[in-house]
Amino acid sequence: MTRKVRTRIAPSPTGFLHLGTARTALFSWAFARHFGGDFILRIEDTDVARSTQEAVDQIIAAMQWLELGYDEGPYYQMQRLDRYRAVIAQMLADGTAYHCYCQSDELDAMREAQRARGEKPRYDGRWRPEPGKTLPEVPQGVAPVVRFRNPLDGDVSWDDLVKGRITISNRELDDLIIARGDGTPTYNFCVVVDDWDMQISHVLRGDDHVNNTPRQINILRALGAELPLYGHVPMILGPDGDKLSKRHGAVSVMQYEEAGYLPEAMVNYLSRLGWSHGDDELFARDQLVAWFDGTHLAKSPAQWDAAKLNWVNAQYIKAMDDDALAALVSAQMQRLGVTSVDDGRLAGICALFKDRCDTTVALAQWASGFYAPVSPEPAERERHVTDAVRPALALLADKLADCVWDKPSIAATIKEVLAATGIKMPQLAMATRVLLLGTSQTPSLDAVIALFIRETAIERLRTP
């Protein structure tokens, strides 16, 4: 590769960062990092009616959360209008673009006539200057659009990094409007000028943009620009095979943060949607960067698999340092309305429960039981907290009042209670768990009790 690798992600700030855009951002980022290149954030905000600052903020927050650091930007297209206008003026001057005074009723009639003749509707080039051609008379009071002078013959071809060679005939493409009557540049034109000015070497984007690519290539050629290489990644599908959308659940990256997913797990999971490295499923970000060279991108669309994401997240939770996990769990507890005082117990609680949780929210729900009152299911209570076990619970409460507060001493205390009352361990354990944490399914009893504040444990055991 002779050209410096420069990739970009170019979201439109009309909403949150969609999972599909996040995946494209991840691929573009990893590709740039792999080759020691630059990754650029560009905000495509020319749809003024639908673009918001809030969406920009959310996009940036999601990029930060996923730790997809960009080397340049954010660039805003709305701040580059003068540049687009200058390029349009230059193209008008050198004849690669021209004014067209057709009005919408005229265009409608043109298309109507084409359809009636069984032709594909397209602009017929009536204002396209040609040697020896007489153009229509310029109408009064009409602000012209600017059209790109697309080549009439030949093909546009590119070797797509994902899809292989793609060839489109220029006959399929009519003369694209690059500036509206009010002078504002259009979407495809801004993308072209940006990719040119920002010296983008590789464009990785969703395959919903394949149709734009031949038009963009033609304009880039007319500008004498070096072409980037393109890779069009298939859309992510939902479990039913339709394009992944809100209908399938959360599609905003930051909803996953709220729902208790770790950014590293998201990065790992997203990277496997449409890309693979052998059978590897779990790998760190550095490993992804080391492997991600633009090969092994899948031609067929990947399907969102919530169960697999949960599994990946669970592996990252299990492997995470308990103190770091405690900080995340504490934030999740606040969202649940439970304020955990920093009394040093949370890391231990995380260590004990993380094996059974696939999100930090699930972990926070467990942890909340140690800090806020629990309300056991009445049926669970009735089933386990029986008259037969009550004397043992009372004795356990008494003995816990003055035993040393650590796991071995608590284990010994439990044994004493069993010996003194003749109750079996499972009976005492189930009833104690229900009273302490509201459920009979918990890790080992001595470990659970040891993580309680002594008074809280005793109080719950004494709850009638």
Binding site for ligand GLU (CB under 6 A): 10-12, 44, 191, 205, 209
Residues 6 or more apart whose Cβ sits within 8 Å of residue 57: none
Nearer to ligand GLU, 177 or 357 (CB): 177
CB 72 within 8 A of CB 41: yes
Least distance between ligand GLU and beta carbon 83 (Å): 17
Nearer to ligand GLU, 11 or 214 (CB): 11
> Where would I find the H helices in 385-444?
390-401, 407-421, 425-437
CA 98, 102, 104, 105: dihedral to nearest 10 degrees?
-160
**Which residue, 116, 189, 180, 187, is CA-closest to 150?**
189
Distances (CA, A) of 392 to 343, 374, 406, 409, 464: 30, 21, 20, 17, 13
Nearer to ligand GLU, 11 or 274 (CB): 11
Nearer to ligand GLU, 42 or 345 (CB): 42
Nearer to ligand GLU, 251 or 397 (CB): 251
Query: Residue 285 — φ and ψ, nearest 5°?
Result: -55, -40
Least distance between ligand GLU and beta carbon 88 (Å): 19
List residues bridging with 179 in a β-sheet. 146, 185
Least distance between ligand GLU and beta carbon 228 (Å): 10
Using a 10 angstrom Cβ sphere, with 0-12 exposed, 13-18 middle and 19 or more buried, the burial of residue 136 is: exposed
CB 253 within 8 A of CB 17: yes
Least distance between ligand GLU and beta carbon 440 (Å): 50
Nearer to ligand GLU, 71 or 322 (CB): 71
CB 297 within 8 A of CB 162: yes
Least distance between ligand GLU and beta carbon 21 (Å): 6
Total Cβ atoms within 10 A of residue 131: 4
Nearer to ligand GLU, 228 or 260 (CB): 228
Nearer to ligand GLU, 77 or 442 (CB): 77
Total Cβ atoms within 10 A of residue 196: 19
Least distance between ligand GLU and beta carbon 212 (Å): 7
Nearer to ligand GLU, 209 or 243 (CB): 209
Least distance between ligand GLU and beta carbon 275 (Å): 17
**Tokens standing for residue 155:** 């093909």
Determine how β-strand 236-237 pairs with β-strand 72-76.
Answer: unpaired
- Give the sheet arrangement for strand 177-179, strand by strand: 97-100, 145-148, 177-179
Q: Which residue type sits at 166?
A: I
Total Cβ atoms within 10 A of residue 249: 13
**Which residue, 16, 18, 22, 3, is CA-closest to 248?**
18
The sign of the CA dihedral 170, 150, 76, 225 is positive
Least distance between ligand GLU and beta carbon 223 (Å): 16
CA–CA gap between residue 426 and residue 432 (Å, rounded): 10
CA–CA gap between residue 134 and residue 159 (Å, rounded): 39
CB 111 within 8 A of CB 60: no
Residue number closest to ligand GLU, CB atom = 205
Least distance between ligand GLU and beta carbon 11 (Å): 5
Least distance between ligand GLU and beta carbon 208 (Å): 7
Nearer to ligand GLU, 233 or 428 (CB): 233
Least distance between ligand GLU and beta carbon 44 (Å): 4
Nearer to ligand GLU, 44 or 358 (CB): 44
CB 204 within 8 A of CB 197: no
Least distance between ligand GLU and beta carbon 152 (Å): 26
Nearer to ligand GLU, 14 or 334 (CB): 14
Determine how β-strand 229-233 pairs with β-strand 202-206.
Answer: parallel
